[in-house]
């Protein structure tokens, strides 16, 4: 089965599109899952070395006590998950962790926080972490 049967052109051009029509988006949603995986891998290979792995580090800068009611998440305060709620980490500690991650070969440093949005009192610290 070719993609032309779905009305969706191959993503052979390395130019991102921003002019999608609804019919094209619907056609993408209608594609079989293995075809979507194949297309995603093809786009990835066109833009990145397929043998290279990006090393990333994830740090929880604010753990537990999240007010959201996500039953699957151990960060939620709504359930007894055994995760102890901790306050936002200090900026200096986060920056030290980021430096250690970089020294260990990480090219991406991701910060996760157990909240829907930071509280006003934490904004300056979070901005300093990101700007770090």
C-beta neighbour count of 95 within 10 angstroms: 16
How confident is the model over 77-118, as pLDDT tens digits? 888 888 888 999 999 999 999 999 999 999 999 999 999 888
User: Quick one: which H or E segment has residue 130?
Assistant: helix 123-131
Which of 9-13, 25-29, 123-127 comes out lowest in average pLDDT?
9-13
Percentage of the chain exceeding pLDDT 90: 61
Cα gap 84→79, rounded to integer Å: 12
- Domain extents for the chain? 3-47, 56-131
The reported pTM is: 0.66
In this predicted structure, the answer to whether residue 1 has a pLDDT above a threshold of 70 is no
């Amino acid at each position: 089965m070719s993609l032309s049967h779905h009305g969706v052109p191959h993503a052979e051009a390395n130019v991102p599109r921003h002019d999608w029509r609804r019919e094209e988006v619907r056609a993408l949603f209608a594609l079989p899952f293995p075809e979507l995986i194949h297309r995603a891998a093809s786009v990835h290979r066109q833009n990145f070395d397929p043998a290279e792995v990006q090393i990333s580090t994830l740090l929880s800068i604010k753990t537990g006590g999240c007010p959201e009611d996500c039953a699957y998440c151990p960060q939620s305060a709504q359930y007894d998950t055994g995760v102890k709620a901790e306050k936002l980490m200090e900026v200096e500690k986060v920056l030290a962790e980021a430096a250690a991650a970089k020294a260990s070969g990480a090219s991406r440093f991701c910060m996760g926080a157990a909240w829907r949005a930071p509280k006003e009192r934490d904004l300056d610290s979070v901005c300093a972490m990101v700007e770090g």
